[in-house]
Amino acid sequence: MTRHVTVVGAGPAGLAAAAGALRAGARVTLLDAADNPGGQYYRMLPDAYAAADPGRLHHGWRGFVRLRDHVLGHVRCDWWPESTVWALEREGEGAPHVHVLRGEADAMGRERRVLRPDALVLAPGAHDRVLPFPGWELPGVHSAGAAQALAKGERVVVGDRVLIAGTGPFLLPVAASLLEAGSAVRAVLEANPAATVARGWTRRPRELASEAGKAAELAGYAALLARHRVPYRTGRAVIEARGDGRVEEAVTARLRPDWSVVPGTEKAVAVDALCVTHGFSPQLELPVAAGCRLRGSGASVEVDGDQHTTVPGVYAAGEITGIAGAQAARTEGLIAGWAAGGGAPDSPIAVSARRRRDRGRAFAARLAAAHPIGAAWRGWLRPGTVVCRCEDARYGDLLDAARDPAGASARAVKLGTRAGLGPCQARVCGPTVAELLSGAVDAANPHHRPIAQPIRLGELANPPTGTTDQEESAR
């Protein structure tokens, strides 16, 4: 019988996983909440505003188009756009049942479906992490990923005088996207000092030869910034945003390697938009719901050499197994899909992909070493600094609740301050709140929730309209 593989997420990892499973002979159901494949990395313009040359907006566009067309045009692939996985349910051995809502997220009458695959590949990706600072809740302050999504997906710029700040190589493609869309970028600020960045990227220098493509991409971004006369400064960060009703200026300062502020180096920069990112937070709600074991500090899913998690029938690929970029995500997806589809583990396809995957993991280690989050960033905060934007919970509220004898647990602090209880359900603030409270209260997993995505009560009450297993999919 033909194996049925469900792949959640149609970004670089998910598309590659679907291709791998198809290559292994399986039938695939590929789901994504968006109406087009590509994920955040290859975000599409709406059909009415399609770019004449999408390759200008995306790195590696031709390869993506070939992969997308191959997967979506395959006779054994069912493509489910605008489909949200809201729960995973285990019944005995094997992969969990996948509960899906089909239809636009803000539409009424979405259709409930249940998939019963032989294997499940999770590739939900990641989103920006933004550390709080005074004024970050002002209109005009955006996550860098949101600003890039608007520029690439809607051709909308967030402002005319934009400052980009934070840490990590993602700062550069964000600047490139905004420049291409017509913004004037005042500067790009990398919080880590040049010595930290250089030391991280040049560790194990013999491995750098395999990263020639990334070096060329970096050179392209550097040339674009130079053409537009955009300064790139290291060891400097935005520590405050100010404005009357919206952001009007950003206060920057020099940082020490631990991210403590060097006194007397503060400088105000006039802006009408501020884009900030401090790395990425993997979207772990579904792996946690499936019962997958997390590594170490709980920042990624534990997998074996075939991307198999600790749960039978469940595989993971891409940023949820460690932030390493689109190329590594594609390789992990191929491995996961091939294994989930029943491909032989000793085949040349699998062996070659695992070697490439290991190089990708080496890149991830360099990335983490070059762009760490300094422990002293908490020194930027004031008692009135908002840490949970949904519920307007303040840093001082968290500290007071943690000191209260009745609040010696993460749950008590959450109930007392409402931090993490707003519409985003701690997807944005959860990891930061957990870090701020570390050592003060009992730890809690910010990703654990029985319902992984928002669902209306009426949708929850309605029975599924159909159940799809491997036999029904094959018809």
Of 34-43, 77-86, 378-387, which range is least confident? Answer: 34-43
What pLDDT is stored for residue 204 in this prediction?
Answer: 72
Q: Out of 65-69, 407-411, 451-455, give the one with best mean pLDDT.
A: 65-69
What pLDDT is stored for residue 4 in this prediction?
Answer: 98
472: pLDDT strictly greater than 50: no
Instruction: Express as a percent the part of the chain with pLDDT over 90.
Output: 62
**Residue 205 tokens, joined:** 């220098």
56: pLDDT strictly greater than 90: no
53: pLDDT strictly greater than 80: no
| All structural domains of the chain with their residue ranges | 4-126+280-343, 131-277, 381-437
271: pLDDT strictly greater than 90: yes
CA of 297: how far to CAs of 23, 131, 290, 294, 431, in Å?
A: 35, 18, 18, 8, 11
Q: Which of 464, 428, 465, 473 is nearest to 446 (CA)?
A: 428
What pLDDT is stored for residue 410 in this prediction?
Answer: 75
298: pLDDT strictly greater than 80: no
- Rounded to whole angstroms, the Cα distance separating 82 from 110 reads 10
What pLDDT is stored for residue 470 in this prediction?
Answer: 47
What pLDDT is stored for residue 49 in this prediction?
Answer: 52
Residue 420 pLDDT grade (very low, low, confident, very high; cuts 50, 70, 90)? confident
Cβ neighbours for 386, distance < 8 A, ≥ 6 positions apart: 132, 136, 137, 392, 393, 394, 395
Top-confidence residue, 53 or 98: 98
Top-confidence residue, 281 or 458: 281
The one-letter amino acid at 135: G
Instruction: Express as a percent the part of the chain with pLDDT over 70.
Output: 89
Residue 473 pLDDT grade (very low, low, confident, very high; cuts 50, 70, 90)? very low
Query: What's the pLDDT tens digit per position in 124-182?
Result: 999 889 999 999 999 999 999 999 988 887 788 999 999 999 999 999 999 999 999 89
Average pLDDT value for residue range 228-242: 97
**Residue 2 tokens, joined:** 């033909």
What pLDDT is stored for residue 364 in this prediction?
Answer: 85
User: Are 4-126+280-343 and 131-277 equal in CATH topology?
Assistant: yes
**DSSP helix/strand/coil, 120:** strand
What number of other Cβ atoms are within 10 A of residue 461's Cβ? 8
Q: Which of 335, 325, 378 is nearest to 355 (CA)?
A: 335
Average pLDDT value for residue range 245-266: 97
Give the CATH fold of the 4-126+280-343 domain.
FAD/NAD(P)-binding domain (3.50.50)
Top-confidence residue, 315 or 398: 315
What pLDDT is stored for residue 471 in this prediction?
Answer: 40
408: pLDDT strictly greater than 80: no
Mean pLDDT, rounded, of the chain? 88
**Residue 427 tokens, joined:** 């997807």
User: For the domain 131-277, what is the CATH code?
Assistant: 3.50.50.60
